[in-house]
Amino acid sequence: MQPIKPKELEPKSRIAGFEEVVFCYTEEEALKEARRCVQCKDPTCISGCPVGIDIKKFIKRIIKKDYKGAYLTIKEKNDFPSICGRVCPAEYQCRKACVFTKKGEPFASGKSINIHFLERFVGDWGLHSSLRGAEGDEAISKDEIASRPFPPHASYGGTPPYACNGGAGARKDMIGKKVAVVGSGPAGLCCAGELARGGVSVTIFESLHKTGGVLRYGIPPFRLPQGVLDFEINCLKKLGVQIVPNVIIGKGKTLDELFKEEYSAIFLGLGAGTPSFLKLAGENLCNVYSANEFLTRVNLMGAYKFPESHTPVNVGKAVVVIGGGNTAIDAARVALRLQKINNIEPNVSIFYRRTEIEMPARRLEIWHAKEEGIKFKLLTQPIGFSGDDKGHLRKIQCLSCQLGEPDSSGRRRPVPMEGSEFEADCDLAIVAVGLNANQLLTKETPSLKVDKWGDIEVNSETMETSVKNIYAGGDIVGGEGTVIEAMGMAKKAAKTILERLPRNSKS
């Protein structure tokens, strides 16, 4: 049977706004896709999932139309199925390990089971079941969760009947124990959930005014509607997790102060929020943005609806995004939508030093970007920017490249070609060439050991840092990764904390 693709908004209509692009499977589609799974005796797909979801079991539950069972199976390992079902780079993870992908392929075969779409179907089942009260296990109606895009910016406050699994594993010896979590990205949220379910009293401290980390300020709502994120965060609140926004730990409050407030352990999920730059002439001209700033202005601060919102963003006529990861593709697709909303002829290009196959972005997003009309200028390396007499960006200078030998990342190195210099029009450039550790806290806490990139050093089994009772995980450990990898580390840390809390505890 052919793989089942979910429906999508048409490219022409979707670039006029921020509506979610990919629809949820209908029940019929989910059943068809689930039935393609051959239920391997020794399923390889599970080894491709950083949190070890029992993929075979949850798909079997779908086949039996036991959606509650499927939901609870995923929730055993993954708190956020509706999020991961939307953003996981499954083609490099579980789908790549699927028996339908040949060994040695760079990413999953198109024939591999669409595990992520099935996960989303089940996650959204949980989400929608909350709309009906606690009747989540009644027979699902055909169009109940199907083809219903989420409002991209609406806040969703439903109470999920099965999502929280509140207190099921709560231990008596944890009563009264307090743990602080710094950062509310996927690592912090996941760690908080694990601890709260264990019976610990958890407080998340977040420097921004909203929770979610990159899920909120980086990934645009046409990929991850904010309402879905609100739903998952609501689950944590139902478990008793306290969230304190607008506090920078290391500035407003130190780690020592947290210990003095009787927190027995601290988990650091600080992320990699510091953008890298190209260090090129002209990079400080007006209208050269880092992708992080650009996306934060739009996604978090609502620049797409300026002047209703307080934060504007420049919308260029010739936009160049530099980079080949998810951040670059997201920035390009956001810029294109802003042009469309502002009645500017869409003109967005991605400049990338290697070829498409080496691009680290999710394949689906690359495909969507192309469908939407974003131009890909590959094997192209910027070497400078130039502007007008008012200091505004006007041109970008580049060299063409060819691929050389593989570098330490295993990808073939881009080698600039002599005499290939060219110039292109560009009045808005968005630099998306990587993210580094957020060092606000570590610089204030010299006892925390960091590596040469500023990432926190941990014991990779326990996620302990160099300071007793402080743990870390996510992008602040080992650099920019994925949502599910951040969650995998957070789960490990939570496990250690739960094991050690009774004996290490001050309270």
Binding-site ranges for ligand FAD (CB under 6 A): 87-89, 182-188, 205-208, 213-214, 218-219, 248-250, 269-271, 273, 295, 326-327, 330, 362, 438, 440-441, 474-476, 480-484, 486
| Of 162 and 304, CB closest to ligand FAD | 304
Alpha-carbon distances of 104 from 96, 109, 115, 361, rounded to whole Å: 9, 11, 20, 19
Phi/psi for 475 (5° steps) reads -65, -20
In the bound complex, what is the minimum distance in angstroms from residue 187's beta carbon to ligand FAD? 3
| Of 136 and 271, CB closest to ligand FAD | 271
User: Residue 116 is inside which H or E element, if any?
Assistant: helix 115-129
In the bound complex, what is the minimum distance in angstroms from residue 247's beta carbon to ligand FAD? 6
How many other C-beta atoms lie within 10 A of the C-beta of residue 263? 22
Angle at CA 221, nearest 5°, toward 215 and 223? 80
Alpha-carbon distances of 463 from 163, 194, 269, 407, 494, rounded to whole Å: 26, 15, 11, 29, 9
In the bound complex, what is the minimum distance in angstroms from residue 28's beta carbon to ligand FAD? 27
Radius of gyration of the chain (CA): 23
In the bound complex, what is the minimum distance in angstroms from residue 41's beta carbon to ligand FAD? 29
In the bound complex, what is the minimum distance in angstroms from residue 260's beta carbon to ligand FAD? 17
| Of 203 and 438, CB closest to ligand FAD | 438
- CB within 8 Å of 203: residues ≥ 6 apart: 178, 179, 180, 181, 241, 242, 243, 244, 263
| Of 239 and 432, CB closest to ligand FAD | 432
Q: Going by DSSP bridges, is the β-strand pair 288-290/428-431 parallel, antiparallel, or unpaired?
A: parallel
In the bound complex, what is the minimum distance in angstroms from residue 396's beta carbon to ligand FAD? 21
| Of 43 and 50, CB closest to ligand FAD | 50
| Of 398 and 441, CB closest to ligand FAD | 441
| Of 27 and 480, CB closest to ligand FAD | 480
In the bound complex, what is the minimum distance in angstroms from residue 105's beta carbon to ligand FAD? 20
Q: What is the DSSP letter of 450?
A: B
In the bound complex, what is the minimum distance in angstroms from residue 99's beta carbon to ligand FAD? 23
| Of 393 and 483, CB closest to ligand FAD | 483
Angle at CA 376, nearest 5°, toward 375 and 380? 130
Give the whole-angstrom CA distance, residue 11 versus residue 16: 9
Using a CB cutoff of 8 Å and minimum separation of 24, what contacts does 91-95 make?
91/362, 91/363, 91/364, 93/48, 93/49, 93/50, 93/482, 93/484, 94/45, 94/46, 94/48, 94/49, 94/53, 94/55, 95/45, 95/48
| Of 379 and 429, CB closest to ligand FAD | 429
In the bound complex, what is the minimum distance in angstroms from residue 173's beta carbon to ligand FAD? 28
Q: How far is CA 368 from the centre of its chain?
A: 17
Amino acid occupying residue 414? P
Q: Where are the alpha helices (DSSP H) in 297-439?
A: 326-341, 363-372
Beta bridge partners of 267: 181, 471
